[in-house]
Structure 1
């Protein structure tokens, strides 16, 4: 078990979030690692409504134990329907793992060059058709214009209602080259060590101010700015809501308060930072691919909700923490990808009204 890495989101140029640069990211379409064996709607089906879940985030997490895991990415999906989001129930979530050796049929052996014009041909479209709405494998096309493909009927209906009707009736118009408005806002996910010391020199202060400004811009963009309390007020409200004996929550708050805008915690082989002593898993199911043990890899924090456009989490998406467990041996998937396990933990009752960030 190594140090805990914590993740933050920030805006960046879209080209940096494409598959050829092996990104970690939030929102938009998945930047698939395996460009040929792309999952379909049935692989990320919501356990409640049956519709495909929408891409939430991905973490590029190479595992150097063997060559087969030189490139490795974990994808997390969630159903956007509020009625599918239930307390302490992960049925509306899906997690997939993909991995490739350093030598593979898609990417060069050497590291990518951080340039927009570097190998723009390394796209999933070169290998297969993907859904115009969500980026999943798309077996069907619009019967009228034949320009766009879809993973399922429900996403075709969504696209028709959100702009494709006009494009379909105008042959001169081309599909937009930007994330579909049905998806979450696309942001880069960056990480740093939780234990890094905060320097007081001018350079660090400028970097901190830059991050705060970027964070503010994101909140303005998602409509969150103007509704935030001060950190002092929120801390007071939080502690008044928590029972004195809830040591797990107290530990959660003390860790999170050091970096209040963290949206992810990565600690492969370590332990989750649970938000409550209640509803922790008794056991983690074995890997469905190889039958081996799974271990904790990372968790998604409630602060991420602030960047998803979920202005009223009580009527939409909500979670305390999402803990992701993956195959301990990172076995080789038979179909290019395989499912992993997610445990959703919430704070129910009065505590569910907790603000999602200290900022």
Structure 2
């Protein structure tokens, strides 16, 4: 697991790389327009919404992994991320589903679920073996050259001990020995070291030149495998989904130093928009990013908690982000309260044993230390889980109830005689997923309003209806070992596992 890090808006992943670093280790996922039809079934293409694009496995995860644990309805896909691990011979995809019903989302767990799907890639495994063989050969050459250089140094040192005219008695080329025999020849290690460097540069150039070719070859191979795969019907093909699916592309997160530099250089367009306060968006790219950052800053009001202030300050540099990806990193809490926050950043116990200096440095102002060990271990291998990806509030803005396709109609009957105020109240209750407290009448007395059966059923139907996403952030933790233990009736070299998700809401 990654070491605990302090809850600080400026303590990002570039802190150890020096103040001049311009990016952190976090990759920010941004929407990049609707997915082309050719890429709709390509599992190598990460996406927002749409239907899942499965790896060409012989068996699929069951529909139960995408079923809300509260209403038992099939959920909609929120994001799909192609996320193979470095040095792994497995293709790897993460799927995250979410229920669009407000009454379900505010439950503890079960309205957002994540699945990790693995499939052994024989082509990539062969390439990794070739890369490994090249590295081992280069390392063997390096060891041989280092041993030869050391032997020459030892031989030269022994020769100097018996040669009184060696240049070792003074500066090279001086003294009687230097005048008679000249300075001893330098060790011939430099050309051989150059050979090692050249080998490394050749390997790098081969990797760069082969990268695009390998990517295209992988896509063609995956498409061919999908066409040849024989399996049962895809349950997700007829499920409700957000349409259209959108590309999910990544950019590195600006570092704390880069964010400070950007905030100090507001363009005239950004300043004018902020002064007007009318939400006008600057046309230039630089002004757009700065406007986004200041828009987040305007959300900060007196009385908000410290964690939310850090969240706003950190996210404001790129307000369009829909996911934050940093395998083994530290998530960014939306607020300093709730079940998930208390679980991952627990209160320090008075009777707790003294913690290390590193743990103390990782505490916030209230003494809370990030504790990933609180996340349940992998049910398959028993190993720890580690943070991998975080869904951000802007994803809620992109995935609206009006964009859900294929959903069954849910009739909501409202009393036509209800006042506009009553209808508006029901709309708010539907959006929140809960009943609002009764309001006093004109005389100041709060009375229970009589309701007929039709009104009661209408309100229950409204609360059950799709209301759109309501969470503020969702944290996905995956098996640290990326285990691929076989399941019953599963083909060799493929597996799926459900992972742990924790969500926070705006109170």
Same fold (TM over 0.5): yes
1:305 is paired with a residue whose SS is: helix
Structure 2 CA distance for aligned equivalents of residues 55 and 297 of structure 1: 18
Between structures 1 and 2, the one with greater helix share: 2
Q: Once the 2 structures are TM-superposed, how far is the Cα of residue 7 of structure 1 from its aligned partner?
A: 0.6
Deviates more, 1:337-346 or 1:11-20: 11-20
Structure 2 CA distance for aligned equivalents of residues 233 and 16 of structure 1: 34
2:313 is paired with a residue whose SS is: helix
2:95 is matched with which residue? 75
1:320 is paired with a residue whose SS is: strand
Q: Once the 2 structures are TM-superposed, how far is the Cα of residue 250 of structure 1 from its aligned partner?
A: 0.8
Pair 1:239-2:300 in alignment: yes
Pair 1:340-2:499 in alignment: yes
Contact 1:98–1:333 at 8 Å: present in 2 too?
Answer: no
1:339 is paired with a residue whose SS is: strand
1:309 is matched with which residue? 400
Structure 1 CA distance for aligned equivalents of residues 71 and 506 of structure 2: 23
Computing the radius of gyration over CA atoms, which structure comes out larger, 1 or 2?
2
Structure 2 CA distance for aligned equivalents of residues 340 and 116 of structure 1: 27
2:85 is matched with which residue? 63
List per-residue Cα deviations over 1:223-280 (Å, max 9, x = no partner): xxxxxx99756642x212x525x22111100111100110000111111101111121
Where structure 2 has 5 or more consecutive residues not aligned to the other structure, the ranges are: 3-12, 14-24, 129-212, 266-281, 345-373, 403-427, 433-466, 488-494
Across the aligned residues of Structure 1 and Structure 2, the Cα RMSD in angstroms comes to 3.6
2:317 is paired with a residue whose SS is: coil
2:492 is matched with which residue? none
1:356 is matched with which residue? none
2:312 is paired with a residue whose SS is: helix
Alignment map for 1:61-140 (pairs within 5 Å): 61-67=83-89, 69=90, 71-86=91-106, 89-103=108-122, 111-113=214-216, 120-123=223-226, 126-131=229-234, 134-135=236-237
2:327 is matched with which residue? 268
Structure 1 CA distance for aligned equivalents of residues 335 and 383 of structure 2: 28
Contact 1:15–1:116 at 8 Å: present in 2 too?
Answer: no
Q: Once the 2 structures are TM-superposed, how far is the Cα of residue 24 of structure 1 from its aligned partner?
A: 1.1
Structure 2 CA distance for aligned equivalents of residues 48 and 24 of structure 1: 28
2:193 is matched with which residue? none
Q: Once the 2 structures are TM-superposed, how far is the Cα of residue 184 of structure 1 from its aligned partner?
A: 4.1
List per-residue Cα deviations over 1:159-190 (Å, max 9, x = no partner): xxxxxxxxxxxxxxxxxxxxx6x434300101
Alignment partner of 1:193 out of 235, 252, 255: 252
1:286 is matched with which residue? 377
1:250 is paired with a residue whose SS is: helix
Structure 2 CA distance for aligned equivalents of residues 290 and 302 of structure 1: 32
Alignment partner of 2:386 out of 275, 295, 298: 295
Structure 2 CA distance for aligned equivalents of residues 114 and 210 of structure 1: 38
Where structure 1 has 5 or more consecutive residues not aligned to the other structure, the ranges are: 136-149, 156-179, 201-207, 216-228, 349-359
Structure 1's 230 and 73: CA in aligned 2 closer, same or farther, altered over 3 A?
closer
Structure 1 CA distance for aligned equivalents of residues 73 and 379 of structure 2: 22
Structure 1's 329 and 209: CA in aligned 2 closer, same or farther, altered over 3 A?
farther
2:376 is paired with a residue whose SS is: coil
Pair 1:322-2:474 in alignment: yes
Structure 1's 19 and 211: CA in aligned 2 closer, same or farther, altered over 3 A?
farther
Structure 1's 124 and 322: CA in aligned 2 closer, same or farther, altered over 3 A?
farther
Structure 1's 187 and 91: CA in aligned 2 closer, same or farther, altered over 3 A?
same
Contact 2:292–2:319 at 8 Å: present in 1 too?
Answer: no
TM-score (norm 2): 0.48
Deviates more, 1:48-57 or 1:110-119: 110-119
